[in-house]
Amino acid sequence: MTMHTLSSDDFIDPAAGRRRPGRAQISGMVLLAAIACFAVFGPWLIGIDPAVQQLERYLEAPSLAHPLGLDQLGRSALARLAHAAQLSLALALISVLSAAIPGTLLGLLAAWRGGWLERVLAAIADAVLALPGLLLVLLLAAFAPGGFWPLYVGISLALWVEYFRVVRAATRILMASPHVEAARLLGFGPLHIVRRHLLPELLPRLFTLMRFGFAGAVLAMAALGFVGVGLQPPTAELGVMMIELLPYYGEAPWLIGAPVLVLFLTLLGLLLLSPETEAA
């Protein structure tokens, strides 16, 4: 839920990238790989249109043709689940990327140039952080209720700030370090310094942020769909499916269980990837 789980204080973790993956991290990777395969190849392998209704067969129990049965409108539950997983992961991926790339570049630029540019960017970042991320997404979603693009824009807008702040803080420290100073004095250009000296140090921190951002994006989409201000039915979306299938949990618990499980396992996989769960 928390989109701003990390502050710029959290980035100092020199060993994060080099530690060998533990049991928790490996199970997280396996989980995520399985869900990603389901989302990428599922819709194509299943090959059933998630929108086709067979009203006379509503709530049909699982069978070989429909491994998760049919939902309240007689649509294939597995096909809908695969399309919903694909939609969630796709939204999370593109919003994380479109937050991370400009956020990182602006962070580098601010730390490099300093001066008024840095102050203006920092003020904008403060303004965005003044509001909890989900509120910002909600406000943007209100522009065009039910649309995909407001969700995407809102999530990206809420997320870029973290990359900006972390990259700016880390770059400022790195710029003062002897090896970067030596490289600058030797006359290497900014591109070389960024590639050889800054990015290797920044990447592990960026991956940590991306993991949290990915979880936040998947979560925001499902949460808004669940309370009815995100994507609208008949879209196959995890949160929308949950709220649609909730009334049938007594007759067909597997129907609502499936999207809940996919969401839970996605978030669990992302959580297990982080080294701190290995602590105990």
Partner 1 sequence: MTFFSTPRVRPYLRRAGTALAQRLLQALLVALLVGTLCFFMTRMLPGDMAYRIAAGRYGYDMVTTAAAEAVRLELGLDRPWPAALAEWWGRLLQFDLGVSQVTAQPVAMEIAWQLGPTLNLSLLAMALSLFIGPTLGVLAGLTPGGWIDRLTLAVSTVLRALPSFLLGLVLVLVFSVKLGVLPAAGHDDHGSILLPALTLALGMAAVSCRVARDAMVGVRGSAYFAFAMTKGLNTRQALARHGLRNVAAPVVAYLGVQLVYLVEGVVLVETIFAWPGIGHALVHAIFGRDVPMIQGTALVLGLMFVLFNALVDAACAFIDPRRRP
Q: Which of 148, 142, 147, 271 shows the shortest CA–CA distance to 216?
A: 271
Q: Write down the least CB distance from residue 100 to partner 1, Å.
A: 19
Question: Which residues of the shown chain bind partner 1 in the complex (CB under 8 A)?
Answer: 1-5, 7, 126-128, 130-136, 138-143, 145, 219, 222-223, 226-229, 242, 246, 249, 260, 263-264, 267-268, 271-272, 277, 279-280
Helix axes 178-185, 148-175, angle to 10 degrees: 80
If the CB atoms of residues 5 and 72 are measured against partner 1, the closer one turns out to be: 5
Measure the CA–CA gap between 243 and 229, rounded to whole angstroms: 12
If the CB atoms of residues 70 and 272 are measured against partner 1, the closer one turns out to be: 272
If the CB atoms of residues 52 and 120 are measured against partner 1, the closer one turns out to be: 120
Q: Write down the least CB distance from residue 263 to partner 1, Å.
A: 7
Residue 251 buriedness (CB in 10 A; 0-12 / 13-18 / 19+)? exposed
90 residue type, one letter: A
Q: Write down the least CB distance from residue 222 to partner 1, Å.
A: 7
Measure the CA–CA gap between 22 and 6, rounded to whole angstroms: 22
Q: Write down the least CB distance from residue 247 to partner 1, Å.
A: 12
Q: Write down the least CB distance from residue 75 to partner 1, Å.
A: 22
If the CB atoms of residues 180 and 218 are measured against partner 1, the closer one turns out to be: 218
Q: Write down the least CB distance from residue 36 to partner 1, Å.
A: 17
Measure the CA–CA gap between 30 and 125, rounded to whole angstroms: 35
Tell me what percent of the chain is helix, strand and coil, each rounded to the nearest 5.
70, 0, 25
If the CB atoms of residues 4 and 184 are measured against partner 1, the closer one turns out to be: 4
Q: Write down the least CB distance from residue 173 to partner 1, Å.
A: 22
If the CB atoms of residues 1 and 52 are measured against partner 1, the closer one turns out to be: 1
33 residue type, one letter: A
Non-local (6+) Cβ contacts of 229 within 8 A are: 138, 141, 142, 145
Measure the CA–CA gap between 24 and 41, rounded to whole angstroms: 26
Buried b (16+ CB within 10 A) or exposed e, 168-193: bbbbeebbeeeebeebeeeeeeeeeb
If the CB atoms of residues 64 and 130 are measured against partner 1, the closer one turns out to be: 130
